[in-house]
Amino acid sequence: MLRHFLSTCTPVANAPIFGSHPKGIHTSQIQNPKFFPIPDPQSPFAKRLLWRIPNPRYPFAPNPHSLGGVGAPSSPEGTPPAPYPQRGPLPSPIPNPQSPYLRNVSNNHKPLILGVTGASGLIYAVRALKYLLCADYEIQLVASKSTYMVWQSEQDIRMPVEPAQQEQFWRQQAGVETGGKLRCHPWGDVGANIASGSFRTLGMIIIPCSMSTVAKLAAGLSSDLLERAADVQLKEGRKLVLVPRETPFSLIHLRNLTTLAESGVRIVPAIPAWYHNPQSIEDLVDFVVARALDQLDIDCIPIQRWQGRL
């Protein structure tokens, strides 16, 4: 079409030649009216150039009749031109609810990563897992290497290493045999799905979180799957919640926590409150877990929240 366009134009006298076009006109002169005159607007080519013929793939293309310009179909003089056939919008197909592109849309269907480190206080992880599974969340659980020793030390229980057996182990400890989805990952499997930023998640909570894990995350180190998964949340800008269970904090601990807080990490120390009138250790633990899950906009623990003075 461009060659036909050029052939219908007359070259300008004494115009500089920048190419070897047979008409003495280079294509760089097309946009310059000094070198390239506009052809007759009534020519068939100009009509095709200035007005787009409606196409069923573009139902909202302008109608030359309604705009009144060149390109309108010819009609006998004195009679209005016959309009183009009106085309409505193309029907949009109803998406398949089972399509993989529609999965993990709501928060309840986005997986949540639950990290468990070797810090004392595994009851926090057990209670968090209990309420999340009861609320029908999908949990991707990864425990650090030190967690196995802590279970042996605190509860005199040996945690299985094999993922399928470990899933049953955590469900038994949480007292939730069915409900929700739980998948356990070996601590050294750095090729798991949660090690990639393309695996979409609701976020990650590390409960309890050791000071060793805090230090490695603050330094950007990823020596196992738990640390890699947490590092992914940081680089993807997703929510990461740490529940450190340590006292007292050294200056190095505080500086590492400050570095993570400045990076957007939510720090929720395992410090319970008493205004909700706790009656058991579980009540104290549930308060800390509930405040940690609040950072992820998850409200699935029935605690008595502060309503102000009555």
Q: Where along the chain do its domains lie?
A: 109-294
Cβ 113 vs Cβ 229: under 8 Å: yes
Q: How does residue 306 score in pLDDT terms, banded at 50, 70 and 90?
A: confident
Burial of 22 (0-12, 13-18, 19+ CB in 10 A): exposed
> Is the N-terminal amide bond of 62 cis, ω within 30° of 0?
no
The single-letter code of the amino acid at 35 is F
* Residue whose C-alpha is closest to residue 294's, from 257, 241, 229, 244: 241
CATH class of 109-294: alpha beta
Q: Mention every residue, 6+ apart, whose C-beta is less than 8 A from residue 125.
A: 114, 116, 207, 208
- pLDDT digit string (tens) for 244-276? 999 999 999 999 999 999 999 999 999 998 988
* pLDDT for the residue 162: 94
- Return the pLDDT at 196: 95
Q: What is the structure's pLDDT at 99? A: 52
Q: Which residues of 182-207 are buried (b: 16+ CB within 10 A; e: fewer)?
A: bbbbbbeebebebbeeebebbbbbbb
Q: pLDDT tens digit string along 37-85?
A: 555 666 665 555 545 445 445 444 454 444 444 444 555 555 555 555 5
Provide the H-helix boundaries in 35-95.
44-50, 64-67
Q: Residue 89 has what pLDDT?
A: 55
Give per-residue burial for 89-110: e unless 16+ CB within 10 Å, then b.
eeeeeeeeeeeeeeebeeeeee
